[in-house]
Chain A
Amino acid sequence: MQRVEDPRLLAGRGRFVDDVAFPGMLHAAFVRSPHAHARIVSVDASAALAVDGVLAVYTAKDVDWLAPLVSSGPMRDDVCVQSRTPLAASTARHVGDPVAVVVARSPYLAEDGRDLVDVEWDALPPVVDPLQALEPDSPLVDEELGTNNICHAEQSAGDVDAAFADADYVTSIRFHSGRSTAAPIEGRGVVAEYEDRGGGRYNIYSSTQMPHLLRMFIAPVLGVPAGRVTIKAPDVGGAFGLKCTVFPEDIVIPAVARLSGHPVKWIEDRWENLAAGVHSKDMVCTMEIAAKADGTMTAFRGRFVTDSGAYSSVPFSPLVDSQVAGVYLSSCYDVQNVAYSIDNPLTNKCQIGAVRGVGWVPGQLAREVAIDRLARTMGKDPVELRLQNMIGPEVYTTPFGQTYDGGSYAAALEQARDAVDYAEFRQRQLRAREDGRYLGVGFSPFVEPTGWASASAAAGGMPIPFFDTASVTVETDGSVTVTTGLHSDGQGHETTLAQVTADELGVAMDSVRIVYGDTDSSVFGMGTYASRSAVLGFGSIRESAGQVRDRLTRIAASLLEADPSDIDLVDGVARVKGVPDKSVPLQQIALFGYFGGTARPDDIQRDGLTATAGYDPGETYANGCAAAVVEVDVETGLVTIEQLAAVEDCGVVLNPTIVKGQVAGAIANGIGIALLEELAYEDNGEFISGNLINYLYPSTTEVPSLTLHSIETPSAVSAGGVKGVGEAGTIAAPAAIVNAITDALSPFGITIEKTPVTPEYLRQLLRAADHDRNKLVGA
């Protein structure tokens, strides 16, 4: 099926935020801290203001009428509430922290002005190491909080200590999941206009994945009711979680539009995107497994420390990484004794936010790398060991109380195993080694909570009520308009949601229009992230379209003088079952629905042909497995992915092409996390990955042709049995790749303790291994 959105995007006629222009619009550039941690002594804008075309420079003082931006995190008592001013007032807390904004006639002039703003700094000691940040004598990142730790939490189930005491084998690893980010090709951007009518209102174009939540968060900071803020996000050039954050710039740009009396545009550059957006997955993990001699895993214990950066991000906070690494610890394994602790120390780096795969990625890395280690220690096959410990396919409640809605946990691993010809591979691996070539294979089965709604959020330790609504209208001519608060930034909602609506109403897909990305015209919704839109979109549309369908059926029944239960609505025509010539087109039904006067049923006289319904499903969990086959060049440390197979079970598939596209994109992202992407800071907190030469994306030459399989285990709880799919590949792929590299290098006995696994890092491990071996030989 061809996507509805493609023709405009292919013809260069999308409307992305930088394509929007207002008459008289000015351009903004932010003055940002070059220091990790510094007090602002003074800001001198005189040289900037002397440039023709630079109209104003605003600092925190000029926008002191704004309320602070408050991060309260996931509505839990044990999470610190942190506030910040949208422009740093007295202290900058990371490289890239905004301290002033220049407004000028062109982006070039705004940047000229930015470079001329003279800030006098008083450098403060930076907090760079997350573990040191937890020490009582550490300097504080935010004095107001009185602590660096946004949240310490622990949870356990069963008797973990006893299981470790009784264990025949204990495996313990330390793993540092690297710092990466979303880095969509389109960065962030805001265009804002302030209208001095109706008490003052803001019109804002933003590259966001959650228009309504963005409005909800920024309106109080701007000091206006939500109804006086309109957020539009027509086309968004990729988001991957970056754009479900509320940023200081989202507030400052509307504020300076008001102050300057002109519309203002800000389009971030790539350095800003990498230095001052959100970072992700930087986590120091320890993982311990207790096992019996027969291979039964009896306990998991994890510690997850998220290097949280300088601010607790709004709305998800750093717990979006640490908490979810911990609470889903048992994953697809039948392990009843589980415990974790999490810490979220602030450091003088960019904030941690929700990026595709979030803390599931480090959690998955820690667990799956540890399981492979256990298998090696015991001399067991890693696939057999996993299968031996796996839960069954039926509905299952984990020790921490998540209830899985059924899945193909073992079947997915078996299919991934077969996809890489596992038995044959082991032979090939041996032969290759004789030729001095190092091949390896790794597996990574996973479970992922998807249709993020109230129940799944609560079960995941992020107890925020989540739901969504859709409004379906059959227009007077029989065409259909659907509005939703879910957003689309590549997922193809205009196609999938139209398809769902068309199926539900029995109309042609091209008669359905999906309206989203505009708080004025769409019903309230929580946005698109956390792989939730298939479940929430489908559920809310099925409910609202179902109500409209019922009305259409009753009208058709009365027009055709038949019983409603005998009416079939197919292809835009209502027919009486078994009487082919008794039919009425939808257009006529619709006209009657609007103008049929008192001949219509009461509820239709009252409600017309519009229905709005919400959906807040029970917990849904996708599952699957990635398998990687790699070759490592031991001379250069270069890893080549020979094959990457992924088995995905996202329940009932709405659109196979789009599901495959989501899985492939997510895997590419996972390859980047495993091998390439690293946001690096020097020991003094200086940021050194501000361009795409240092921060490497996977390109066509790093992502191989993928082997994609799917299994459909219908969800036991959601409408239509749908689960969700956006993040699976990102969660599964890195651990499969790391395990494959370790397997390839098993003759050297090396231990990989971090991502990304760069050639330099592997060479360093291989040199150390050589060194050890020589020592042994020498002894």
Chain B
Amino acid sequence: MDSRLGSVAVEIIVNGEKRAAVAEPRMLLSDFLRHGLGLTGTHVGCEQGVCGACTVLIDGQPARSCLTFAVQVEGAQVETVEGMAKAGELSDIQQAYRSAHGLQCGFCTPGFLASTQALLQENPDPTDEQIREYLSGNVCRCTGYQGIVAAVRSAADARKASSHGS
């Protein structure tokens, strides 16, 4: 997209790959990812910092890309939904969302996946209450959260089972 006003080149490491594009200082990370780099998997639902649809991981921490300027993340590691599936195989979390019907329209889903990934990194064995608490910053208008909570639960359980097994 066209930019003005002292545009600068921003270089970030997205899903392990070094990427660069030009951005105005005021350009949001969400727009930079979507329209600058063509990574349209990250969605924008409010640009008010509330819905969580735009959540990505910046240096491993969940962050709202609509509240972050692209220039702020120069040099950082950014993980988006496009990086989750490896070689066309859905990750365990993605597969759990599919199996538990944790998505309907799929618009909120990339944000939920990012938050789930961060949650399970921080707390591999959360209670349902902790899952609900952690995900309360992401909103879904379709599912009523039943499938989402079940998906996170089953992803955590499966990881636990496989780590016990090994």
Q: Which residues in A have some Cβ–Cβ distance to B below 8 Å?
A: 2-3, 5-7, 9-14, 16, 18-19, 21, 27, 52-53, 105-109, 182-187, 235-240, 269-270, 489-492, 657-658, 660-661, 663-669, 691-693, 697-701, 703, 705-706, 729
Contacts and interface: CB of A to CB of B under 8 A. Distances in A.
A11 B135 contact: no
Given A663-B144, A691-B46, A701-B132, 15 more contacts: A9-B103, A10-B81, A10-B97, A10-B109, A27-B1, A53-B2, A183-B141, A238-B105, A660-B101, A661-B142, A661-B144, A664-B143, A665-B143, A699-B137, A706-B144
B137 to A, nearest CB: 8
B106 A10 contact: yes
Interface in B76-105: 80-82, 84-85, 90, 94, 97-99, 101, 103-105
Contacts of A236: 105
Nearest to A655: B101
B24 A235 contact: no
Nearest to B82: A12
Contacts of B44: 18
A703 B144 contact: yes
Nearest to B152: A700
Most buried by A among B82, B97, B143, B146: B146
Given A6-B106, A661-B147, A11 B50 contact: no
5 contacts: A7-B98, A16-B107, A27-B1, A663-B144, A699-B139
B149 to A, nearest CB: 7
B52 to A, nearest CB: 9
Contacts of A661: 101, 104, 142-144, 146-147
A30 B99 CA distance: 42
Given A53-B2, A186-B43, A186-B105, A700 B148 contact: yes
A238 B31 CA distance: 21
A16 B44 CA distance: 11
Interface in B145-166: 145-149
B104 A492 contact: yes
B128 interface: yes
B107 A238 contact: yes
A185 B139 contact: yes
B41 interface: yes
Given A2-B98, A10-B97, A665 B110 contact: no
B4 to A, nearest CB: 6
Contacts of B97: 6, 10
A664 B147 contact: yes
A34 to B, nearest CB: 19
Contact of A665 (B51, B53, B141): B141
A661 B147 CA distance: 8
Contacts of B139: 185, 692, 697-699
B15 to A, nearest CB: 10
Contacts of B113: 10
Contacts of A184: 105, 107, 141
B46 A238 contact: no
Contact of B105 (A52, A489, A658, A660): A489
B106 A667 contact: no
Interface in B37-56: 39-48, 50-51, 53
A438 to B, nearest CB: 23
B133 interface: yes
Given A185-B108, A661-B104, A705-B149, A700 B132 contact: yes
Nearest to A690: B48
Given A105-B2, A691-B50, A701-B132, A12 B141 contact: no
Closest 5 CB pairs of A and B: A12-B41, A237-B107, A9-B106, A490-B105, A664-B144
Contacts of A703: 144-146
Contact of A12 (B80, B98, B143, B147): B80
Nearest to A186: B107
Contacts of A692: 46, 48, 50-51, 139
Contacts of A663: 144
A105 B5 CA distance: 14
A186 B43 CA distance: 8
A159 to B, nearest CB: 43
A299 to B, nearest CB: 37
Identify the interface centre among A239, A240, A700: most chain B CB within 10 Å of its CB: A700
B136 interface: yes
Nearest to B93: A10
Contacts of A269: 47
A106 B3 contact: yes
B27 interface: yes
Given A666-B144, A693-B50, A705 B128 contact: yes
Contacts, number: 192
A237 B143 contact: no
A270 B45 contact: yes
A219 to B, nearest CB: 27
Interface of B: 1-4, 24, 26-27, 31, 34-35, 39-48, 50-51, 53, 80-82, 84-85, 90, 94, 97-99, 101, 103-110, 113, 128, 131-133, 135-149
Given A109-B4, A691-B48, A701 B94 contact: no
What is the interface of chain B mostly: helix, strand, loop, or mixed? loop
Max chain B C-beta neighbours (<10 A), residue from A21, A109, A238, A491: A238
B51 A185 contact: yes
Contact of A701 (B1, B26, B136): B136
A423 to B, nearest CB: 27
A701 B105 CA distance: 21
Contacts of A240: 141
A583 to B, nearest CB: 34
Nearest to B99: A2
B144 A11 contact: no
A700 B135 contact: yes
A663 B105 CA distance: 15
A186 B48 contact: no
Contact of B81 (A12, A16, A658, A700): A12
A185 B46 CA distance: 8
A185 B135 CA distance: 16
A12 B110 contact: yes
Contacts of B147: 661, 664
Given A10-B94, A490-B105, A701-B132, A665 B39 contact: no
Contacts of A11: 41, 81-82, 84-85, 90, 94
Contacts of A697: 51, 139, 141
Given A10-B85, A11-B84, A665-B143, A270 B103 contact: no
Contacts of A489: 105
Contacts of B24: 108
A660 B50 contact: no
B1 A7 contact: no
A63 B145 CA distance: 44
Given A108-B24, A490-B105, A668 B34 contact: no
Contacts of A700: 131-133, 135-136, 138, 145, 148-149
A657 B97 CA distance: 13
A185 B141 contact: yes
B101 to A, nearest CB: 5
Contacts of A669: 141, 144
A13 B38 CA distance: 11
A680 B113 CA distance: 33
Contacts of B144: 661, 663-669, 703, 706, 729
Contact of A10 (B80, B98, B131, B142): B98
Contacts of A27: 1
Nearest to B149: A700
B75 to A, nearest CB: 23
B104 A185 contact: no
B106 A658 contact: no
A235 B104 contact: no
Contact of A106 (B2, B81, B141): B2
A184 B51 CA distance: 11
B109 A9 contact: yes
B45 to A, nearest CB: 4
